[in-house]
Chains A and B, each alone.
Chain A
């Protein structure tokens, strides 16, 4: 697994207090990992900080799963 995926996973695990093995490619933050809509905003804030990037609101709305996040950040970083 890439370095980016590891770092994203660490953030998700910490923020949502979920088991690491649940954070898989297609895992939806809201449907599978128990996030509420505010959690998804906070995850995006945490990604921005960790990777030193800016994720605009319209892009943030497309980041619904762990896989989405890794893909977006890989392309942006």
Chain B
């Protein structure tokens, strides 16, 4: 099940907790992976850990030209590109009353617009191959909203609408596009939250714990596989029951 031998995957944000684990999971299923991110050092480290079939393709996602060039670089490194995982994302939290135009725009640019550019750039080769997988990592807050994250929630909700529309346009070509929506996951980002905030969050999660990056990666590995061929335009929520949608 979920054999990805012969497939080539580009993972953005692979220097982060969730992205790194997604790359590990796809690689473990036999895929070659191109690891993208802004910080080269963690990418090199992950590539060394994975060994053969792992390539480092750094990219600053706020640089449009660099974003557009990324799929070509990844494809050249791996010899093809079959699976695109848009995992990279940033937060610039602030209450909306105080949110600056720049806080809004930078989050939309990196989370939503770069995803759009990457999805567009991979269309041609995937259409020709009559096979492709787009997996966008959105967030529970794109569906539920979250105080202090108007920009982030808008970008993540935008990803969901974009994915559904894209999935409809391209469905007849053997390409699926889906989202995975994590709830609270143990990462460097959530570890920084004060203890009382963490306790409050846990009270709202029926399973009583945060998720792990590998639990997100497992959903991605499924969506990337041939077994998921009839799943498209969907959002898989991986959140310990925090929101049941």
Contact = CB atoms under 8 A, between A and B. Distances in A.
B128 interface: yes
Contacts of B172: 36, 38
Nearest to B123: A41
A33 B93 CA distance: 52
Interface string B160-174: 000000000110110
Interface residues of B, number: 7
Contacts of A38: 127, 169-170, 172-173
A27 B13 CA distance: 47
Nearest to B173: A38
A24 interface: no
A6 interface: no
Interface of B: 124, 127-128, 169-170, 172-173
Those 6 A-B pairs whose CB atoms lie nearest each other, nearest first: A42-B127, A45-B124, A38-B169, A38-B173, A45-B128, A38-B172
Interface of A: 36, 38, 41-42, 45
11 contacts: A36-B172, A38-B127, A38-B169, A38-B170, A38-B172, A38-B173, A41-B127, A42-B127, A45-B124, A45-B127, A45-B128
